[in-house]
Structures are given as structure tokens and as C-alpha cells.
Amino acid sequence: MCNGCDNDGSTPHANPSSPKPQTMVPEPVEGSALANPSSPDVMPRAVEWAKTMHGHGSDDVVLAHADTHARFAPGQTLDRLAREEREAVMLRPGATLAHGAGNRAIDEEPDAERTCFERDRDRIVHSPAFRRLAGKTQVVVYPTDHQRTRLTHALEVAQVATSIARGVGANVSLTDAIALGHDCGHGPGGHASEDAFDAFIPEGYDHGPWGADVVLTDLNLCRETLDGIRNHSWSRPAPGTIEGEIVSWSDRIAYCAHDLEDAIHARIVSIGDLPPEVASIAGIGRRAQLGTFIRAVIVTTNATGQVGMDPETAAALAGLRRFNYERIYTRPDSVAQSHAVVEVLRGLVDRYVAQPELMPSFYRWDDVTRGAVTYVGGMTDRFAFDQAEDLLGWTADRLPRGIGRGA
């Protein structure tokens, strides 16, 4: 029960006769920009920013802008129960409803405002595993400022997936949560990390199950969210929800389009290299391709009741993926970079297995090998390659090229 709440958990009504609360303005910290704004050491922008510290307004409400004119009709909070009722009315039969879901490994009280899937989405976004995707390579290609990371890939998958979910009447919040978390099990250096860690994990290292069953377990996510993350790859068993199927298609749509765009920016291929049978159906740019593929999934799903794509457009997507495989993913430089990644990561795991005291205490498990793989798998590219230099004594010329180092 929160402080200041009635026994039913609601906020007490204010007594009109009570004095209005006064806005508390703390004194400036000594040595800060507010305390001494004329100091030559304080940047002008910091001084201006400090002037907005307390907002604007009266005793009734504090506003962000003194000249705000936006108005909204007062009303009741759209709480979890109201949102679940909306889902029941708006979502298509077969979509996953938040009401009746929320099954977690450890039981929790429902949130007052958020549905269970909205809560999952928030937990993923605020997790260290999600943040570290910013330092993990999406594709091992020639280095460029335009290159995607695993984080931007996850965001683009979420954009594609939620567009489809809205168009077919699926649960957008569950779709978003699965999409944002789908690659949290990836190690540094792209898919080569899976080849590296396969040598240490008897059942094999697959980033989907590893993300759901190892990396994200402390978030206590819903069963439906974990299922979608675990099984988003086409080589895995089918997800158990429509939303999971949507993310499976969205992942492929997103990476086929944006990996091509990255390769064009890096001058690995040109747009003119794209096979005519792909360009004629899907278009020649990322915007056109995403529009074509997203629309095809929406139209086909609405027409058939199954998440899929019409054969002609699906063939174009397959042709684009085949082109990327031949010209980007398996080009000689990419293959060489992948082998270098494998060598780095296996060397690090071997070192940590031999000397577990070098790892943070959290990863010193009874199964020392699994703990070492979990530790190395969570590293960003840069940290892993720094460890290769510091612990393994590698020189820069041995490090993978095209992942922000050794270029």
C-alpha cells in the first residue's frame, strides 16, 4: 500500500478547505550553475538549462512551458482494467488478450495502470541487456557511421511488427515487447558469436532461447513474451501466439531491407546489383521495400487468418535475403571477420574457465563454463575486444575488422 492512499489503493480526495500545497524550490547546490551562473567555467548552455529547473505554473499544477496552450479534457485514469476492456473490444478474435495472461515464473500482483505486456515491454527497454545491444554489431560488414547496431535493428523490427499488429488487430503491446527483446541473447560480433559459443554449450547456443531462458530471466517476463523471443527465428518451433508470428516475419523483413541499405552505404554493393525480380516487386530502396512487405503481410493475414505473405511478394523477400547472403554475409571479408570473432570469444571463454576469479562474482557459477559463456555473451564488441588485448595479449591486427576496431 502506498503512502497517502486509502485502504482501497486510491488517492484520497483533497479537502477544498485545506490550504493549497506550496511548491518546494530547493536551494541551489553550492558550486552549481544555479549558485554561481556567472562562473566562467560553466558553459552557457548549462546556465540556460538550469533556468528551467522548476518548471512554470501555480500551486495547482506545474507546467513544462510558460506559454503552453495545449489542453486536454479532465477524466479518469485509463487504468489496466480499462485497457484490458478496450483490448477485448478492439482486438480480433485469436489475438492475445492481456486479461487472463500475465503468467510469470514468479507470481506478481498486477500493475495498477499497465497491462502485463506493457509491463514486459517497459522491463525490456530498461534492462542492461537491451542497452548493451547498442554496442553489438548487427552485421559484420565494412565499418561506417551508417551501420546499424543490434539496438537499432531491434527498434526497426519493433516498428515493422507494430505496424503489422495494428493493421491486423493483434496485441500491439505484446508484439512490441517480443520485438524489442528478440535479440537480447546475441553475443558480441554478430551471429558469429553463436558459432563461438556452440563449442561450450551441449545443446548449442541459439540467441533466441538463450535470451529468453538465460539473459532475461531476472525480468520475470510473461510466458507469451518469452515464447515469442525464444521462437522468433524461422528455424525454431512456431511461436504460440499470433504476435510471435508477426515478429518472426518482421525480423526477416527488417534485416533484409536495412542490411542491404547498410551495405550500399558501405559501398559493398550498389542498388543496381539488386536482381530485377526483387526490385520489380519490392522496390529498390528501404522505404519502398518495407512498405511492400508490411502491406503484404497485413493483406494476406487479414484475408487468410494466418500470419503470412502472398507467394509473389514472399519470393521477392526470399530473393532479397538470398542476395544479401551471397553478396554481404558470406563475402570473403565477412567470413574472415566471423572467424576472427569466433577466435576472440572462444579465447575469452577458455581464459575465464581457467581463471574464474577474473569474472565478476555474479558469473562464478557451479557450471563455470556456462557462467563464462553468459559473461562473454553479455559483452559489447568493444569490451570483448579490449579484453582480448588485456587478458589474451592480442595485438590490434588480430582483432576483427569492420566492427569499430582494426579498420
**Nearest 5°: CA angle at 287, between 285 and 291?**
120
Mark whether 123 and 260 lie in a shared domain: yes
Is the pLDDT confidence value at 272 over 60?
A: yes
Q: What backbone phi and psi angles, to 5 degrees, belong to 56?
A: -135, 155
Asked if residue 132 belongs to a domain, the reply is yes
pLDDT digits (tens, 9 = 90+) for 129-142: 999 999 998 885 43
Distance from C-alpha of 369 to C-alpha of 320, rounded to nearest angstrom: 38
Mark whether 243 and 270 lie in a shared domain: yes
pLDDT digits (tens, 9 = 90+) for 53-89: 888 887 889 999 989 999 999 999 999 999 999 999 9
Computed over every residue of the chain, the mean pLDDT equals 89
Residue 398: per-residue pLDDT: 87
Number of domains observed in the structure of the chain: 2
Is the pLDDT confidence value at 406 over 80?
A: no
Mark whether 316 and 341 lie in a shared domain: no
Distance from C-alpha of 386 to C-alpha of 396, rounded to nearest angstrom: 9
Report the candidate in 247, 278, 234, 263 with the shortest Cα–Cα distance to residue 160.
247
Residue 26: per-residue pLDDT: 57
Mark whether 316 and 375 lie in a shared domain: no
pLDDT digits (tens, 9 = 90+) for 167-215: 999 999 999 999 999 999 999 998 999 999 999 999 999 999 999 999 9
How big is the chain, counted in residues? 407
Q: What is the CATH number for 312?
A: 1.10.3210.10
Domain that holds residue 384: 334-398
Least confident window among 131-145, 232-246, 355-369, 381-395: 131-145
Least confident window among 144-148, 273-277, 284-288: 144-148
Mark whether 339 and 323 lie in a shared domain: no
Mark whether 270 and 368 lie in a shared domain: no
Asked if residue 177 belongs to a domain, the reply is yes
Residue 404: per-residue pLDDT: 43
Boundary (domain end) residue, out of 333, 355, 372? 333
Mark whether 394 and 376 lie in a shared domain: yes
Asked if residue 325 belongs to a domain, the reply is yes
Residue 140: per-residue pLDDT: 54
Boundary (domain end) residue, out of 333, 352, 370? 333
Mark whether 351 and 229 lie in a shared domain: no
Band of the pLDDT at 371, cuts 50, 70, 90? Answer: very high
Cα torsion through 103, 105, 107, 111, rounded to 10: -60
Mark whether 251 and 374 lie in a shared domain: no
Q: In this structure, are residues 165 and 157 in contact, taking their beta carbons and an 8 Å threshold?
A: no
Distance from C-alpha of 364 to C-alpha of 294, rounded to nearest angstrom: 45
Distance from C-alpha of 217 to C-alpha of 214, rounded to nearest angstrom: 6
Is the pLDDT confidence value at 40 over 80?
A: no
Distance from C-alpha of 314 to C-alpha of 320, rounded to nearest angstrom: 10
pLDDT digits (tens, 9 = 90+) for 108-120: 999 999 999 999 9
Mark whether 256 and 230 lie in a shared domain: yes
Band of the pLDDT at 279, cuts 50, 70, 90? Answer: very high
Q: What backbone phi and psi angles, to 5 degrees, belong to 390?
A: -75, -40
Q: In this structure, are residues 114 and 125 in contact, taking their beta carbons and an 8 Å threshold?
A: no
Mark whether 184 and 275 lie in a shared domain: yes
Band of the pLDDT at 29, cuts 50, 70, 90? Answer: low
Q: What backbone phi and psi angles, to 5 degrees, belong to 379?
A: -70, 150
Least confident window among 34-43, 154-163, 385-394: 34-43
3-state secondary structure of 392: helix
Asked if residue 273 belongs to a domain, the reply is yes
* 35 compared with 220, residue with greater pLDDT: 220
Mean pLDDT of 219-243: 98
Mean pLDDT of 230-255: 98
Boundary (domain end) residue, out of 292, 316, 333? 333
Residue 86: per-residue pLDDT: 96
Asked if residue 376 belongs to a domain, the reply is yes
Residue 351's contacts (CB-CB under 8 Å, 6 or more residues apart) are 358, 391, 392
Residue 141: per-residue pLDDT: 42
Asked if residue 324 belongs to a domain, the reply is yes
Top mean pLDDT of 18-32, 41-55, 260-274, 354-368 is at 354-368
Asked if residue 100 belongs to a domain, the reply is no
Band of the pLDDT at 46, cuts 50, 70, 90? Answer: confident
Mark whether 148 and 296 lie in a shared domain: yes
Distance from C-alpha of 160 to C-alpha of 163, rounded to nearest angstrom: 5
Q: How far apart are the first and last CA of the chain?
A: 56
C-alpha dist (Å) from residue 203 to 143, 194, 210, 264, 370: 33, 12, 11, 37, 12
Distance from C-alpha of 206 to C-alpha of 236, rounded to nearest angstrom: 9
Cell 576496431: give the residue: 405
How far from chain centre, in Å, is Cα 80?
24
What sign results for the dihedral spanned by CA atoms 131, 136, 137, 138?
negative
The reported pTM is 0.89
Distance from C-alpha of 109 to C-alpha of 102, rounded to nearest angstrom: 10
Asked if residue 311 belongs to a domain, the reply is yes
